[in-house]
Amino acid sequence: MWTRNQAFFEHNMECKEKTVWRKKSNYVENMEYMPYNEVAVIVEFYETEKGDRPAQDFLDSLDYKMRCKMIGEIKLLCELGYLLRYPHSEKLTQHIFELRAKQGSNISRCLFFFDKGEKAILTHGFTKKTEKTPRREIDRAESLRTDYLTRRERCNHGK
């Protein structure tokens, strides 16, 4: 079982040798005000009250190549934060974004939201079968975001 912050690094180490990371792409090198090795946001998995992590379960269910691609997208999210744009990420609603990964004809998405600009919370993932992201997946991400914010507020007020 992964701890919250080990998840990304364990997958990264597992996939590192067979995946070419894009941290040296022209896009990142040209951003002088934000070095590629500086973390823009902390990426965490949403966790239910029971301790389930839907996004982590989704990553675990992917085949090796797709998982490596998705981990690469998570790494870009960590490095670029709000600056990550299409084709890697797309804004779906006011608060919900999707990470996009494609391996052959398979298309996977992992939905997330930002928390106070310092964290990106991965809610869950799914394999896409249509061009448009299904409304039920967006609604699920919104619901998980509401739950996350409600529980965080309770913890901050000591209840």
Give the number of other CB atoms < 10 A from CB of residue 65: 15
- DSSP for 49-110? TTS--HHHHHHHHS-HHHHHHHHHHHHHHHHHGGG--TTTEEE-SSS-EEEEEEETTEEEEE
Of 34 and 51, more confident: 51
Angle (deg, nearest 10), helices 64-80 and 6-15: 130
SS (H, E, C) 95-147: CCEEEEEEECCEEEEEEEEEECCCEEEEEEEEEECCCCCCHHHHHHHHHHHHH
Mean of per-residue pLDDT scores for the chain: 78
Domain ranges for the chain, please list them.
6-156
Give the number of other CB atoms < 10 A from CB of residue 33: 5
Cα 56 from chain centroid (whole Å): 10
CA dihedral 118, 83, 98, 73 (to 10 degrees): -90
Least confident of 12-21, 43-52, 125-134: 12-21
CATH assignment, 6-156:
3.30.2310.20
pLDDT digit string, tens, across residues 74-121 = 999 988 888 889 889 999 999 999 999 988 888 899 999 999 878 899
Give the number of other CB atoms < 10 A from CB of residue 56: 20
pTM attached to this predicted model = 0.74
